[in-house]
Amino acid sequence: MLRIVNIEEIQNVSSSISRLVDLQQRHDSNFNEKVKLWLAKLEAILESNRIMQVSEIATLRGIILSAENGIIPSGVEIHGRLSKRKIIEAAVTFSLRQASSSISDFLKKELDRVSDATLLMRQLMAMAKAKCLILQIPNGNNHDQVLKIIWHTLSSDSEIAPGTTSIEGLVGPHDALIILDRIISSDLKRSQHLN
C-alpha cells in the first residue's frame, strides 16, 4: 500500500507530461533528452517506493537508448523514409505514451483507494457531528495531537469504530490522520468562506 505522500509525488512527476508534449509540439531540440530525464526521474521514484512498474519504465528508457544507436524498437511505427532522427523521435514518443499509460493505470488504483477512504471519512465525520461527538475542533499547540484525539474519539464510538477500522485498512493509520486533517481543513475553510 502506497502512502498518500508517495502517490502525490508520482502524480507531480506524471503532471510533467503536458510540458514534455509542449516541447515536442515546439520541435524543441531538448525534447528527447528531457523525456529521458523524466523517465529516469520517474524510474527512481518508482524504485524508491518498490513499485513493480519500475522495470517497465526502465525498459522504455532503454528503447530510446537503443534507438539512439540506430535500432528500430518493435512496436514503433515509422512513416516515410527511415532516418536516425525519425527512429529516435518515434521511440521517444512511443516511450512517453507507454509510460503515461502505465502510470495512469497505476495511479488510478491508488487514487480510488484513497478516494474510498476519504468518502468514508466524510461520512464518519457527519455521523460524529450528528451524535455531538465533535462539537468543535479542539485547539492545541500540537496539531498532530489534536488529530489523534479526534481519531480516538471516532474510534471509541461503537457505531463509528467499524468505519475507522475500514479506513485504516484502506490507507493505514498515518494516512487516515492525513485524510482527517484535510477534511477538517476543507470544512473549516468552507464554513469561514460562508461567514
Pair (130, 34) in one structural domain: no
Per-residue pLDDT tens digits for 169-190: 999 999 999 999 999 888 755 6
**Domain stop point among 82, 112, 142:** 112
Pair (10, 73) in one structural domain: yes
User: In which band, very low, low, confident or very high, does the pLDDT at 70 lie, cut at 50, 70 and 90?
Assistant: confident
Pair (71, 157) in one structural domain: no
| Residues spanned by the domain of 30 | 4-112
Pair (101, 120) in one structural domain: no
Judged against a pLDDT cut of 50, whether residue 120 lies above it is answered with yes
Residue 74 has a CB neighbour count (10 Å cut-off) of 6
In this prediction, residues 121-146 reach a mean pLDDT of 83
Pair (89, 123) in one structural domain: no
Pair (13, 107) in one structural domain: yes
Question: What per-residue confidence (pLDDT) applies to 190?
Answer: 64
Query: Which positions ≥6 away from 50 have C-beta within 8 Å?
Result: none
Pair (78, 25) in one structural domain: yes
**Domain stop point among 112, 147, 166:** 112
**Domain stop point among 69, 91, 112:** 112
In the chain, % of residues over pLDDT 70:
92
Judged against a pLDDT cut of 70, whether residue 139 lies above it is answered with no
Global pTM value: 0.82
Per-residue pLDDT tens digits for 91-109: 999 999 999 999 999 999 9
Q: Which amino acid is at 24?
A: Q
Pair (121, 106) in one structural domain: no
Domains contained in the chain, number: 2
Pair (54, 86) in one structural domain: yes
